[in-house]
Amino acid sequence: MVRTMVAAALALIAFASLARAQDADTEKAIEKYRQMLRQDPWSNPGLLDVDRGETLWTTPRGPQNVTLEQCDLGKGPGKVDGAFAELPRYFADAGRVMDLETRLLWCMEKLQGFDAAELTKKPHPAGGQPVRELGAIATYVANKSMGLKYAAKLTEPHEQDAVALGENLFYRRSGPFDFACATCHSQSGLRIRLQGLPFLAEKKAAAKVIGEWPAYRVSTTNVMTMQNRLYDCYWQMRMPELQLGSDVSVALIAFLTKQAEGGEIAAPGLKR
């Protein structure tokens, strides 16, 4: 029953998204859909990526033909449960702070022998398959922290430095439109055209939305990761292509995670 309603709701959202003038209806439809997901979490289309990610995690791959099961996400090799809730963090073996996707990329390179540069050469959203695979694995790992609260400590000096850099970048204007993240995300209740702008400079508002990433996007019918989201926002800022795993994206994610402290993880979430 719920599932048919969900299908109907999805169709409605897809329809409403077609006509820009009906974005308010889209918002309502998405909210309704979120309620249904609470009744029947299994009807979330993002869960397909969770399954795909789990398979990718446990399948021997890459030149070394090994699985990712020895990947240390911060809680020890192979520990996936709750790992996402404590990221980003400083990894001594890599000598830098890493968010989930950056760490996964590192494991794919060090354990499986993939060439990270090759994997990220065609970044999102045109998306090469490799990045899509990384996204699915990230969705799987994030989902394994479902219902937990963000508990990234971010107190170690490198971590504090990443948060501070991220905050600096949030207010940094760049590109020919003079935009900073703060241009679009530092007030409540504003919209660009009809799209509501999340108020990320405020902790309460950030805590509500950040934990929903990676998220299933109705407009693209794909799961989008946080690195991908930032790449897209820089695209709107008329900036060049943001490198996946760069210090800039890690720092912004560290800052956003700090903003969202105490927020609940509900990944994969649902976005327009």
Partner 1 sequence: MRLTIIALAVTLATPALAQQPVDATRANTAIQSAFPTAPAEWASRLTGDETMQQCSAARNSAAKDIAAAIQKREQATILYPTDNNFIGDWRRGEALAQSGYGLRFTDYPPRQVNGGNCYACHQLTKAEVSYGTLGPSLSEYGKLRDYKPEAVKAAYEKIYDSHAALPCSTMPRFGANQVLTIEQIKDAVALLMSPDSPVNTGK
- Residue whose token pair is 């560290």: 254
Can 233 be counted among the known catalytic residues?
A: yes
Contact flag: residue 165 with ligand HEC (CB under 6 A): no
- Select from 73-81, 108-116, 184-192, 257-265 the region that touches partner 1 (CB under 8 A): 184-192
Contact flag: residue 246 with ligand HEC (CB under 6 A): no
Contact flag: residue 109 with partner 1 (CB under 8 A): no
DSSP string, 126-174: T--HHHHHHHHHHHHHHHTTTTPBP-----SHHHHHHHHHHHHHHT--B
Contact flag: residue 237 with ligand HEC (CB under 6 A): yes
Q: Which of 7, 64, 178, 262 binds partner 1 (CB under 8 A)?
A: 178
Q: Which of 18, 236, 238, 262 binds ligand HEC (CB under 6 A)?
A: 236
CA-nearest of 155, 162, 152, 154 to 85 is 152
Q: Smaller CB distance to ligand HEC: residue 65 or 219?
A: 219
CB of 177 to partner 1, least distance (A): 4
Contact flag: residue 261 with partner 1 (CB under 8 A): no
**Cβ atoms of residues 152 and 86 within 8 Å:** yes
DSSP string, 179-225: B-HHHHHSSSS-EETTEEPP-TTSHHHHHHHGGG-SEEETTTTEEE-
- Distance in angstroms (rounded) separating the CA atoms of residues 170 and 183: 9
CB of 145 to partner 1, least distance (A): 25
DSSP conformational letter for 242: P
Angle at 241 between CA 238 and CA 243, to 5 degrees: 140
Position 157, amino acid:
P
Question: Segment 113-142, which members bind ligand HEC (CB under 6 A)?
Answer: none
Contact flag: residue 195 with ligand HEC (CB under 6 A): yes
Q: State the CB neighbour count (10 A cutoff) for residue 21.
A: 9
Q: Smaller CB distance to ligand HEC: residue 258 or 271?
A: 271
Question: Segment 16-75, which members bind partner 1 (CB under 8 A)?
Answer: 20-21, 23
- Distance in angstroms (rounded) separating the CA atoms of residues 153 and 261: 9
CA-nearest of 96, 122, 94, 95 to 108 is 94
CB of 50 to partner 1, least distance (A): 29
* Positions in the binding site for ligand HEC (CB under 6 A): 179, 181, 183-185, 192, 195, 197-198, 200, 209, 212, 229-230, 233-234, 236-237, 252, 256, 271-272
* Positions in the binding site for partner 1 (CB under 8 A): 20-21, 23, 155, 157-158, 160-161, 164-165, 167-169, 171-180, 182-184, 189-195, 197, 235-236, 238-243, 246-249, 251
- The catalytic residues are 233
